[in-house]
Amino acid sequence: MDAIPAFKDKGLSLLLAESMILNLPPKLRYKVQYMLLHFVIAAALKEHEQKKYFDYMVNMELNDLASTGIPHPSGRGTIRVVILGTAFDLPGRDKFFWLRGI
């Protein structure tokens, strides 16, 4: 998760929550078609306003990936997913920890 300026407007920032598939080789994992975007919200929202989006994403998307996994394309077994969270700067890290309740 990290905030980025929107449309070259320094007064409006967007908070992106995205996932990368780290099992892919580096030349593929950072390409847009292999990244998963979970939500985009206004970074100006207070932490308690952002938390409902974060909680929804965790409860509706990430928990199932981590606990249940997804069926393997061959039909033989399940792929379990490990979820790691990070931010690119100290304010983002602090917000991430606040959202997690740490």
Alpha carbon of 3 to those of 62, 66, 82: distances in Å? 20, 25, 24
Assessment of whether the complete model's pTM goes beyond 0.85:
no
Digit-coded pLDDT (tens) for 44-102: 888 788 888 888 888 887 888 778 887 887 888 888 777 776 666 666 667 666 666 66
Residue 88's pLDDT is 63
Residue 4, H or E segment: strand 2-6
Digit-coded pLDDT (tens) for 21-45: 888 888 888 888 888 887 888 888 8
